[in-house]
Amino acid sequence: MGEQEVHKRSDPATAWWTDARFGMFIHWGLYAALAKGEWVMYADKIPVREYEKLAGDFNPQQFDAAAWVQLAKDAGMKYIVITAKHHDGFAMFHSKADPFNIVDATPFGRDPMKELAEACREAGIVLCFYYSHVIDWHHPHSLHKEHNNTWDYNLAEKHFPEYWEGKAKPQLKELLTSYGPVGLLWFDTAGGLSEADSRDIVAFVKGLQPDCLINSRVSHFIGMGDYVSKGDNEIGMSGEDQRPWETPMTLNQSWGYTTRDQVWKTAEAVIKKLVNVIGKGGNLLLNVGPTPEGTIPELSAERLREVGEWIRRNSDAIYGTEGSPFPAELEFGAVTTRPGRVYVHVHNDKWPADGLVMYGIRGEVSRIYCLADPKKKELAFRQTVDEALDLHVLKVELPAEPADEHVTVIALEMAEEPDFDRTLTQLDSGRLQLDVPLASVTLVREDDEAAGIPALRQAEWTFKLVQPGTYELMLISFKRHDQDWPGLYPEPVVLETDGSCLVTDPAEDGEDPDSPSCQHPYIPIRSRLGQVTWLEPGIHRLTLRSSKLKDPSPKFTEIWHADAVKLRAVRLVRVQD
Ligand code: FHN
């Protein structure tokens, strides 16, 4: 897996994947020729016969499988997920089931999946395929809940089994029988697929390759597949997923090659996002969109290599690690662990030059150093306990300047296996954020669709307050960028704690600069709820009632029905002792 010993997880089926932590997503298809992203056929309503003509000129002579795989390796990625067929229905492999494929329909005439399979095998990278199993704008009988080719085909004449049995399953069989072991199949946009067909496809894949993992987007019924693919660019919150999970992420704001989108993430931004994801126990699947010539755009390649250099210095803190044992998201970085080690990933722009303070590590620390420091110079530290609060405090003296670029990892070697205090605890910085997934959520009022009344739920948190005083309470919401605020909270939220009750119509009081996991297309918004005074430190309770609190165990989801607003947390900001 990596250069170092990796800690195998309890579930051997997904262990290679959870240990890998970082993968390369590749959106490459015929659409690259138009340089307007992978939805161009749908967006421009290009007739099938017109779209097919693109194949006649598709000749990515510069495609070099070994170079792509080397780039993934240089970036520190352990697996590749490539679009074998996207929504346009064009197979990027030699398919006998449908001549609309790269070998039979283009002058290129080569099978890039075969070449990638060989290059991956040689380099020790796991090859995985993306397959659009429900949307196929080329096939007359594919049928999705919403996004169909209605400019060529009549919805009423569609007979889904003809597509399912005649193209989707035969092509999946080809992918699973002609390219060696496939690490995982990445399905997408399952809207409208019945539960029976979802189960059928899972059984079909496992029947051909039992070890091939399947992502949750195989179905919009919750709980299917081996692990959870979050929404596009959605970073999970701690406590949100009980199963292994990943964030599929763009490097700009698009998947397929486009010249229109030049909003690129810097290497530093990617490193911070990677650290945020793995600190919560997730994987990051980072996308590139190759050109019609068959190259990965140099700007993407440069950034990936820079990320890889950082990973090489810090690989012990990444591959095979577990996410943070602490439920609170750290505003200055993240924590990962492996047996006998705790790694604190500190953003350089939040460098606590006067010392790093961590709460909740019960157990003796033997040595602390910066992971990127080749000499591993020991840092002075002190461990103390506040018995009354049951607060275990570790204070580390840091060098005046960070030892690494972008994010510096502080490695703690433990003299004994730590027993972490997993109570949601205020950080030394004073930050205390009550994230919704950390609450127990109960139903207060059923929804009444006929009367237009939504369900009302209550979230309840228990937390450890270290610094008593007066706090400003803020609601943190992620608002979709294309939404206007008025109407997003149709009724007041009700907050109760220690005898105080605040009833507020949340206002859009400004953007929140302190929500590292919020990503495009969402904007983090703060809404002031009022002030509360806690006179005593220790364990407290807080409840919040809102119709925007979602069912914590829904039956199904459609990944791109991104909510207009997501209620994410209550933040407590100390304003007075
Ligand atoms: O529609 C696709 C989109 O083109 C892209 O493949 C992403 C990647 O996660 N998935 C779908 C939208 O969620």
Q: Please report, for the domain that includes residue 278, its CATH number.
A: 3.20.20.80
Whether 355 maps to a domain, the answer reads yes
Say how many residues make up the chain: 577
User: Helix H segments across 146-280?
Assistant: 160-163, 169-177, 195-208, 267-279
The residue whose C-alpha atom lies closest to atom 1 belonging to ligand 1 is: 189
Q: What single-letter DSSP state applies at residue 155?
A: G
Strand partners, 411: 343, 369
Rounded to a whole number of angstroms, the CA Rg of the chain reads 25
Residues 355, 397: contact at Cβ < 8 Å?
Answer: yes
**What domain range is 201 assigned to?**
12-316
Q: Give the distance (Å) from ligand 1 centre to CA of residue 94.
A: 23
Q: From its phi and psi, is residue 546 left (phi > 0), alpha (psi between -120 and 50) or beta?
A: beta
The residue whose C-alpha atom lies closest to atom 5 belonging to ligand 1 is: 255
Sort strands 184-187 and 356-359 into parallel, antiparallel or unpaired: unpaired
363 and 455 in a single domain? The answer is no
The residue whose C-alpha atom lies closest to atom 9 belonging to ligand 1 is: 232
Whether 460 maps to a domain, the answer reads yes
Residues 410, 396: contact at Cβ < 8 Å?
Answer: yes
220 and 356 in a single domain? The answer is no
564 and 522 in a single domain? The answer is yes
Question: Whole-angstrom Cα distance, residue 168 to residue 133?
Answer: 6
Place of tokens 């017109």: 50
Question: Whole-angstrom Cα distance, residue 308 to residue 310?
Answer: 5
The residue whose C-alpha atom lies closest to atom 10 belonging to ligand 1 is: 188
Residues 218, 187: contact at Cβ < 8 Å?
Answer: yes
Residues 194, 161: contact at Cβ < 8 Å?
Answer: no
Mean pLDDT by 10 residues, the chain (577 residues): 38 93 98 98 98 98 98 98 98 98 98 98 98 98 96 97 98 98 97 95 98 96 94 90 94 95 95 97 98 97 98 98 94 95 97 96 97 97 98 97 97 96 95 96 95 95 97 96 96 95 98 89 96 96 97 76 90 91
29 and 100 in a single domain? The answer is yes
Residues 194, 225: contact at Cβ < 8 Å?
Answer: no
Phi/psi for 518 (5° steps) reads -85, 130
Q: Give the distance (Å) from ligand 1 centre to CA of residue 315.
A: 29
Whether 137 maps to a domain, the answer reads yes
Residues 126, 120: contact at Cβ < 8 Å?
Answer: yes
509 and 571 in a single domain? The answer is yes
Q: How big is the CA angle at 267 (ends 266 and 272), to the nearest 5 degrees?
A: 100
Domain boundary at 384, 414, 444, which?
Answer: 414
493 and 526 in a single domain? The answer is yes
Sequence-distant (6+) residues with CB within 8 A of 373 are 403
CA distances from 202 to 195, 209, 211, 263, 271 (A): 11, 11, 12, 37, 34
Instruction: Please provide the DSSP assignment of 522-549 as one string.
Output: EEEEEEEEEEEEE-S-EEEEEEEEETTS
355 and 492 in a single domain? The answer is no
Return the ligand 1 atom nearest residue 83 CA. 6
Whether 543 maps to a domain, the answer reads yes
Domain boundary at 380, 414, 448, which?
Answer: 414
Joined together, the tokens standing for residue 19 give 């240990």
Sequence-distant (6+) residues with CB within 8 A of 196 are none
Estimate the share of the chain in helix, then strand, then coil, as percent rounded to the nearest 5: 20, 30, 50
445 and 572 in a single domain? The answer is yes
307 and 158 in a single domain? The answer is yes
Whether 420 maps to a domain, the answer reads no
Strand partners, 341: 338, 413
Residues 218, 198: contact at Cβ < 8 Å?
Answer: yes
Dihedral Cα 410, 2, 27, 58, nearest 10 deg: 140
Q: Give the distance (Å) from ligand 1 centre to CA of residue 216.
A: 13
Whether 492 maps to a domain, the answer reads yes
Beta strands in 86-219 (DSSP E): 126-131, 184-187, 213-214
Question: Whole-angstrom Cα distance, residue 208 to residue 206?
Answer: 5
List, chain by chain if needed, residues with CB within 6 Å of any ligand 1 atom: 38-39, 188-189, 232, 248, 255, 559-560
Return the ligand 1 atom nearest residue 559 CA. 13
451 and 531 in a single domain? The answer is yes
Strand partners, 544: 459, 495
Phi/psi for 261 (5° steps) reads -105, 110
pTM over 0.85: yes
Question: Whole-angstrom Cα distance, residue 571 to residue 509?
Answer: 14
436 and 476 in a single domain? The answer is yes
Q: What is the pLDDT of residue 466?
A: 97
The residue whose C-alpha atom lies closest to atom 4 belonging to ligand 1 is: 38
CATH number of residue 540's parent domain: 2.60.120.260
Whether 115 maps to a domain, the answer reads yes
Q: Give the distance (Å) from ligand 1 centre to CA of residue 188.
A: 7
Strand partners, 420: 361
Q: What is the pLDDT of residue 561?
A: 65
> What is the number of domains present in the chain?
3
Q: How big is the CA angle at 96 (ends 91 and 97), to the nearest 5 degrees?
A: 75
Whether 324 maps to a domain, the answer reads no
CATH number of residue 352's parent domain: 2.60.40.1180
Q: Give the distance (Å) from ligand 1 centre to CA of residue 346.
A: 32
Q: Give the distance (Å) from ligand 1 centre to CA of residue 394.
A: 43
Domain boundary at 289, 316, 343, which?
Answer: 316
Q: What is the pLDDT of residue 6?
A: 36
217 and 191 in a single domain? The answer is yes
Phi/psi for 441 (5° steps) reads -110, 130
